[in-house]
């Protein structure tokens, strides 16, 4: 299908949905006339960072204008989207300084570009809370990646909401909910869930609340909210971006990464934050593998002659979702072949080793969260008047003492982690049985078929958000589940998701998975695919589309109960994919 026809069909679908919605008059008005994305006559939604830089160099646009636009848009849309926790008090002053620096000849790649980072990345002058009142008012100095972004000229204008503690606290939970930030709503259909703990960052990028955003991932929390919100997300190779100064789950899987409306902007951010950090040993391996400018790899002919594997089996629940999502995969295969790629179907990644992922994360989290708290959470919590918690046990005690702040969710995952011994020999052995086997599986599969990348669906259609603490946002909605994030997450390898299509107006993404330090190759392939398909359209802020995407499917609540009976971990194993 050519890109013009594809785009026309998407717009027609969105318009049809819009005409049938019901809800509050304010939300209907927002959907009927989404706020303009033009600044000084420039549509910033459709303009890349290099293009913005050129416009500012020609004095056609100023950073102050751009920053004012985003601050005004946050003020207008945040009551509906609930996605920005904190706005920088120095944003406009920083923009004025950037404009002056440009007049003085400064040409840094992110000079004057407003971005928003997830609220688990330490950012000087703004609290870093992981969404929890336990860290309210905690203001450590910049994380290494925040310093790098600022050094490249970026203006961090705010902090994005997230699933509290990166969705590693309760079972069940609601993706995008935190005690401080409340529930984030996805901008395409407002009662649908934005997915993953970096949900706020995904919504920021999709809804034009900043030029781009930074998210973090342990397993799925960059790629899933990127796919669900119709944007590009890069989960880098472990060690490409420093983890120091970022609230952790596990140093063995955690990484931050860029989330943006297009591959170009994601590439600019990716290079800006690389660098060897003395406080993160994993970054030492960057030598010869990292770049400060990844835009050099954006090649609109990268798919010509490439060999791409397709991973279908095991990434979604059959038969519930298969008939709905298979056409998206088929469209992707057609587009890849149209661009000259050889597609090898059935290259499925065996993830049996990931059965140990959750136990490994539990013991690693107990130690790693204590290290973060004891390093960065100094002083007194202004809400409680008590010192900040310094251990996982103290976080649990805080939640128990403040249910009015930290409800309605429980502390099941916290408690399971606290019951471990932390990072001991047993914990290391569990990890050794998880990551190396998955790395070997990916390496062998790519070598066997001489692959440049493997593609898989990123996400299913966004499920209706559920704030019932007895159910959670996935319980009763397993028919929406798609999960391909585990391969890159557990291996520590790179992947990148790009918009691939829409189901009833809900964005679907396709993920390109590669080996270690494969960012240059993946960016070229993703860029070529993006340019050839031009799938993305801006969100329309539709209030609801109902809950009947799968007519005739088995009762999802019964499916959920059956799945929980099959495993001792049940919901917890599913939730681990949605960080």
Q: Which of 173, 174, 197, 226 is catalytic?
A: 197
| 173 catalytic per annotation | no
Half-sphere exposure of 171 (CA within 13 A, CB side): 19
| 197 catalytic per annotation | yes
Contacts of 502 (CB under 8 A, 6+ apart): 10, 13, 14, 230, 508, 535
- Residue 567's SS3 state is coil
Separation of alpha carbons 470 and 410, rounded Å? 10
Separation of alpha carbons 122 and 245, rounded Å? 5
Q: Contact at 8 Å (CB) between 225 and 201?
A: yes
**212-217 and 114-118 as β-strands: parallel, antiparallel, unpaired?**
parallel
- Residue 534 burial (CB count, 10 A): 13
Q: Which of 199, 221, 250, 518 is catalytic?
A: 221
| 118 catalytic per annotation | yes
CA distances from 74 to 33, 175, 312, 499, 540 (A): 17, 21, 38, 24, 16
Single out the residue of 240, 279, 139, 287 nearest to residue 516, CA to CA.
Answer: 240
Q: Which of 62, 63, 88, 118 is catalytic?
A: 118
Query: What stretches of 268-417 adopt beta strand conformation (E)?
Result: 307-310, 342-345
- Residue 200 burial (CB count, 10 A): 35
CA distances from 269 to 167, 234, 273, 535 (A): 25, 10, 7, 22
Active site residues per annotation: 118, 197, 221
């Amino acid at each position: 299908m050519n890109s013009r026809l594809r785009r026309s069909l998407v717009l027609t679908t969105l318009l049809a949905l819009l005409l049938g919605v019901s809800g509050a008059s304010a939300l209907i008005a927002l959907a009927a006339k989404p706020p303009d994305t033009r600044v000084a006559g420039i549509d910033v939604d459709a303009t890349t960072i290099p293009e913005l830089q050129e416009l500012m160099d020609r004095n056609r646009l100023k950073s102050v204008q751009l920053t004012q636009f985003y601050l005004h848009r946050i003020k207008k849309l945040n009551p509906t989207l609930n996605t920005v926790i904190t706005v920088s008090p120095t944003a406009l002053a920083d923009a004025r300084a950037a404009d002056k620096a440009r007049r003085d000849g400064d040409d840094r790649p992110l000079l004057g570009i407003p971005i928003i980072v997830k609220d688990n990345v330490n950012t000087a002058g703004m609290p870093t809370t992981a969404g929890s009142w336990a860290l309210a008012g905690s203001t450590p100095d910049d994380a290494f990646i925040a310093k790098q972004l600022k050094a490249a000229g970026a203006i961090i204008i705010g902090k994005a909401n997230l699933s509290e503690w990166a969705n590693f606290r309760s079972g069940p939970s609601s993706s995008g909910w935190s005690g401080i930030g409340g529930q984030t709503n996805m901008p395409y259909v407002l009662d649908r869930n934005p997915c993953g703990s970096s949900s706020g960052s995904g919504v920021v990028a999709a809804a034009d609340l900043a030029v781009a955003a930074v998210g973090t991932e342990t397993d799925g929390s960059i790629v899933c909210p990127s796919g669900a919100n119709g944007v590009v997300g890069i989960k880098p190779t472990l060690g490409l971006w420093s983890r120091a100064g970022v609230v952790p789950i596990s140093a063995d899987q955690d990484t931050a990464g860029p989330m943006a409306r297009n591959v170009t902007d994601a590439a600019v951010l990716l290079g800006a934050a690389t660098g060897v950090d003395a406080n993160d040993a994993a970054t030492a391996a960057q030598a010869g593998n990292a770049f400060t400018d990844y835009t050099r790899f954006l090649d609109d002919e990268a798919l010509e002659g490439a060999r791409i594997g397709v991973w279908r089996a095991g990434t979604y629940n059959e038969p519930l979702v298969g008939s709905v999502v298979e056409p998206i995969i088929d469209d992707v295969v057609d587009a890849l072949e149209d661009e000259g790629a050889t597609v090898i179907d059935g290259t499925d990644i065996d993830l049996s080793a990931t059965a140990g992922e959750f136990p490994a994360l539990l013991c690693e989290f107990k130690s790693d969260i204590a290290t973060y708290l004891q390093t960065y959470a100094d002083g007194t919590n202004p809400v409680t008047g008590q010192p900040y918690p310094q251990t996982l046990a103290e976080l649990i005690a805080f939640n128990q003492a403040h249910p009015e702040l930290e409800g309605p969710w429980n502390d099941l995952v916290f408690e399971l982690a606290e019951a471990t011994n932390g990072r001991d020999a047993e914990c290391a052995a569990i990890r050794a049985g998880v990551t190396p086997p998955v790395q070997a599986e990916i390496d062998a599969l790519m070598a066997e078929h001489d692959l440049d990348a493997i593609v898989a669906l990123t996400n299913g259609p966004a499920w209706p958000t559920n704030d019932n603490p007895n159910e959670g946002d996935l319980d009763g909605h397993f028919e929406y589940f798609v999960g391909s994030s585990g391969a890159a997450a557990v291996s520590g390898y790179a992947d990148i998701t790009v918009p691939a299509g829409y189901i009833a107006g809900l964005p679907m993404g396709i993920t390109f998975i590669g080996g270690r330090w494969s960012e240059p190759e993946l960016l070229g392939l993703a860029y070529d695919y993006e340019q050839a398909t031009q799938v993305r359209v801006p969100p329309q802020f539709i209030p609801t589309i109902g809950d009947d995407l799968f007519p005739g499917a088995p009762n999802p609540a019964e499916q959920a109960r059956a799945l929980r009976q099959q495993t001792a971990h049940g919901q917890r194993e599913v939730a681990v994919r949605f960080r």
